Amino acid sequence: MARTLDDDTMRTLASGRQTLMSVLSNAQGRLKRVFLVFATAFLLTFFLLRRVIWDQLQTDLVYNQMSLETAQATEIVVTDPFNIILLQTKIGLVVGTIFALPFTIWYGRSGLKRRGYWPSGSVPRWKLVAFGFAVALLFVGGVTYAYFIFFPVMFKFLASVAINAGFTPTWSIVMWTEFVFFLSLSFGLAAQLPLAMTASARTGVVPYETFRNNWRYAVVGIFVFGALFSPPDPFTQFMWGVPLVVLYFISLGVTKFAVLSKRAGDQVSTATVTRDGWNVLAGSWLAAGLATYVYLLEGGLTATNDLLAWIGSSRQLPTAPDLAVGSFSPAVVGATIGAITGLFATVAVLFYLRIAALERVTADEETGVSSLDLASMDAAAVRAAPLERIAEFDHDQAVTYAEQ
């Protein structure tokens, strides 16, 4: 029978299988610990789904922003009781695998080192902790957006459309839970975009220029992916695609900063940038803090509530008198929030200033050789040129110019 896979595919599969066996072989002495983590996560997920999670999910995601009439008309039903147990098992297996995977990789890292899939140098522990924290923070951020913003608004919109069309909005508990779980997982994974782009650019797998020059294709790809894995209505597509497009452009900035830091980070220190641009940083902190204070205490919250009511949302923000916390007056709380907001704005401006400084240094390095036109210079001009610029020419170039 003819072979259905080509040689390259067969070699790739064989390499992946050998890598997996190498990881498991090196981790086998501690597989009991990995299994304990897996079993604990599986059992907790299995029982919490039945006891707490399903009721809480329905309250937070489905009925949270619905009017009383819409909530009473909306139902989540069970069509086959056996599917409930099967669904709990599936989700428990996925959650258990997610929790057990980092331990498996860590315990099997010696096998990954032998096959060249682990960093060769010694990585400081704080960098590993920072990387793990960044992964967890981005994942939680993506899931939080889905949980508190995307799902409540989406289910309210879909239920309203069904009721206006004369139908009763009814979801199967199995399909509804699978939809919520896997779409939340997709938001958490999509939030890893800054780390994925930064790592790809710093390692040279995908240059930064590729991400920058092909941003139009990335935007189209985001909306196409959303069309395949989320409801097809334009409102849901907007809520899926716009945050990811914004995240993509933020990732471009982070990736550019990482690449420039790799090229010229030793020549541009944060302290120097801060000292040179202290007036801009101070002005940014003051402007952002003052704007936040005015928004909180001078009618901004009331105007926002009016806008929410105008678009039909039942969500309302606390007004200025409600900002008091304990013995602290609204003015003190507003000033504190303004100071914190100003700090975030200052960090963003410092980020921009450091990128600008890195760009200037790398631009000078790239134009260093081309800025000297030896062919048009006489002997006296060549002798007066900086030695470090002359040293940038290789031997063959220097001999050619000398013969001229």
What was the pLDDT predicted at 64? 76
**Separation of alpha carbons 304 and 302, rounded Å:** 5
Q: What angle do CA 186, 190, 193 make, to 5 degrees?
A: 160
> What is the predicted pLDDT for the residue at 2?
46
The confidence score (pLDDT) of residue 1 equals 42
The pLDDT value given to residue 128: 74
Question: Where along the chain do its domains lie?
Answer: 23-116+129-191
User: For residue 77, which phi and psi values (nearest 5 degrees)?
Assistant: -120, 165
Inter-residue contact 198 to 251 (CB < 8 Å) = yes
Alpha-helical (H) ranges within 108-207 are: 109-114, 125-145, 151-164, 173-190, 193-203
Handedness of CA 79, 85, 90, 94 (dihedral sign): positive
Q: Is 233 left (phi over 0), alpha (psi -120 to 50) or beta?
A: beta
What are the b/e assignments for 62-96, b being 16+ CB within 10 Å? bbbbbeeebeebbebeeeeeebbeebbeebbebbb
Confidence (pLDDT) at 11: 67
Contact status, residue 390 vs residue 372, Cβ threshold 8 Å: yes
Q: Is residue 285 a contact partner of residue 278, using CB atoms and an 8 Å limit?
A: no
Please say whether the beta carbons of 30 and 104 come within 8 A. no
Nearest to 233 by CA among 151, 161, 308: 161
At 369 the pLDDT is 47
In the DSSP assignment, the letter for residue 364 is H
d(CA 207, CA 403): 39
Q: State the residue for tokens 């990732």.
A: 251
Query: Other CB atoms closer than 10 Å to residue 27's CB: what's the count?
Result: 20
Per-residue pLDDT of the chain (404 residues; tens, 9 = 90+): 445 556 666 666 666 666 666 656 655 666 778 888 899 999 999 988 888 888 888 888 888 777 778 888 888 888 878 888 888 898 899 899 988 888 877 776 776 666 666 666 666 777 778 888 888 899 999 999 988 888 888 888 888 888 888 888 888 888 888 888 888 888 898 889 888 888 888 877 788 888 888 889 988 888 887 777 666 667 777 888 888 899 999 999 888 888 888 777 677 778 888 888 899 999 999 999 999 999 988 888 888 888 878 876 666 788 888 888 888 888 898 899 999 999 999 999 998 888 888 888 777 555 554 455 555 555 555 555 555 555 555 555 555 655 55
Task: Return the bridge partners of 170, or none.
Answer: 75
What is the per-residue pLDDT for 62? 80
pLDDT value of position 140: 92
The Cα–Cα gap between 231 and 222 comes to 14
Helix, strand counts (H, E) of the chain: 20, 2
The pTM for the full model equals 0.68
pLDDT (0 to 100) of residue 270: 80
